[in-house]
A and B are shown apart, each in its own frame.
Chain A
């Protein structure tokens, strides 16, 4: 197909051109997604670790719930956040609908369960190993969680990357709560959806290639940091 071939040329031209509108869209995409992932890590990692070490009734159900929430359909989250933030909804007075903040909220809800569930698994595995040792040291729960999170940091980087992948690729939630408003809430994925509906398939695919390249770049950067840190750690 012709569109496939010209998509690469389009992608290259977009990157080389430095078109401010295009850069604005890329910048907003990264801003929204990275903010959502950051919040998800701050909330989800301690939560996941707590689920791994704490013993309380209903813990098993909670673990299953978080694992299940990893599969939340973005469009459903978008709809729920829309209903909450709509002027006629409970949080309407905040005026957040159709702003990047609304997009951050939706993506945070999508990503937090992923980070929490993957963190719980990583920390639980580690805890099985460290349990006696930490107990012998007389570590309290906060110290235990802190130690485990730190020692699981490489697995946690993977959890954060999984969350980043989910957030940067989804279109259903940000389309509904952001509204795909030009120069305000238009991000990579909503632009791709828009250009597809305009029949500009090469441009849509070109944007897709750029999105993939950014994802590759972020993953490579994290991998690089991790390799460097491991080398230092073993030196």
Chain B
């Protein structure tokens, strides 16, 4: 196949011309919530300044991030879906999981509040009312960490939301921001992590309607991809990043990230408790 060979040759010629720098870098597979909120823009320069290691972040849904890491296309995985993180470790893709930080999910909706759930602190009960009122609800529908949380809440509410797919239950199949966009556009409620909501720029008349339920707790974990599974992993640099992240400096950097004067993520590494 001359055609393919020509493409490959071209890529090999073009490759070095484009490669950014000789600087060491690691690749982090992470979620849209951490990247879109601006957290990484806040903390990563501090790490790079200290160690000289550049951190390249690919921000996708938790499902895709884990899949990419399983394909060895990342050195470090930072996501928020505890059950799947534990499975990732159990299958030998990472030696262990570290607690990093947490924030919480909130339900947002239009000021008109058609399901009359504003001010509720029981997320499952609120979903029940949405289902009864058949008020539109926008779901990520993308196998992300947020989507997983939402499905577990529907289960707790005893509602078969999938049966209403296409009617009042609308699966956008896209990221958090795009789903908020869609929800605002069609007057639907949606579940979002607080950081993405805080940093979101086109809220319209939307506000937080449900918050404070312990079931809305949203912990993030970080893992080094196993060199046994993926020989290409930069183990030393990746571990250095994780050590920094769960150490006092990284934890303080996470705690100092604010949007509108409010702390967004709360450090939770076991080794050294700092801040919130």
Contacts and interface: CB of A to CB of B under 8 A. Distances in A.
Interface of A: 3, 31-32, 35, 39, 42-43, 47, 86-89, 91-92, 94-102, 104-105, 108-109, 112, 179-184, 194, 196-201
B236 interface: no
Given A47-B3, A197-B178, 4 more contacts: A32-B18, A99-B15, A199-B201, A200-B201
Contacts, number: 106
Interface in B150-184: 174-178, 180-181
B273 to A, nearest CB: 30
B199 interface: yes
Contacts of B174: 197
A40 B276 CA distance: 55
A46 B201 CA distance: 49
Contacts of B175: 197
Interface in B207-253: 230, 232
A180 B32 CA distance: 11
Interface of B: 3, 6-8, 10-12, 14-15, 18-20, 27, 32, 36, 41, 56-59, 68, 70-73, 174-178, 180-181, 199-203, 230, 232
Q: Which 9 A-B pairs have the closest CB atoms?
A: A197-B177, A87-B72, A100-B18, A199-B201, A101-B15, A179-B58, A199-B202, A199-B200, A88-B71
B59 A95 contact: no
A181 B58 contact: yes
Contacts of B14: 35, 39, 100-101, 104
19 contacts: A39-B7, A86-B73, A87-B71, A87-B230, A87-B232, A88-B72, A94-B11, A94-B12, A95-B232, A97-B73, A98-B56, A98-B73, A104-B11, A108-B10, A196-B178, A197-B176, A199-B180, A199-B200, A201-B202
